[in-house]
Amino acid sequence: MVRFTAGSVRRALWGATALAAAVVASSVSAHHSFAMFDKDHPVELEGSVMSWEFTNPHSWLVIMVMKDGKPVQYSLEGASVDTLIRQGFGLKTFAPGEKVKIVISPLKNGGNGGAFVKATKSDGTVLTQSPTPN
């Protein structure tokens, strides 16, 4: 016959609660993970804005870059609208056709994309976003 004491039940409940909290935290973290980007090796791109999607949960800046004499499209993921507004971004921050210099954390898999870090517009305006956009 197995006997449970108040202390053993309390320890089991605390253990189950801690395990549940860890599982929930890891799934939330995975959803907003920017682990696919190489923050240690930023890349500077120069190109033309194709589109600026000022949306939640993450914004997107799509630019056309000349690479080896050919146009290549880059899709750059950014922070949420709330975060970007606090950093000076807006719905009309980037216009189609506008020339920009962009610093990104590139995709680790070498794809044509990355996490947006900083932009320098043709008028000299510099816009940056937090290093881990969430």
Residue-wise pLDDT tens digits, 107-121: 999 999 999 999 999
DSSP string, 61-75: EEEEEEETTEEEEEE
Domain housing 77: 43-128
Full-model pTM:
0.72
Cβ 94 vs Cβ 61: under 8 Å: yes
Residue 132 has pLDDT above 50, yes or no: no
User: 10 Å Cβ neighbour count for 83?
Assistant: 17
30 Cβ contact list (under 8 Å, min separation 6)? none
Residue 37 lies in a domain: no
Question: Which amino acid is residue 43, in one-letter code?
Answer: V
Q: Does residue 36 lie within any of the structural domains?
A: no
**pLDDT tens digit string along 54-83?**
999 999 999 999 999 999 999 999 999 999
Kindly state the tokens that stand for 61. Answer: 């800046």
Query: Quick one: 25 and 49 in the same domain?
Result: no
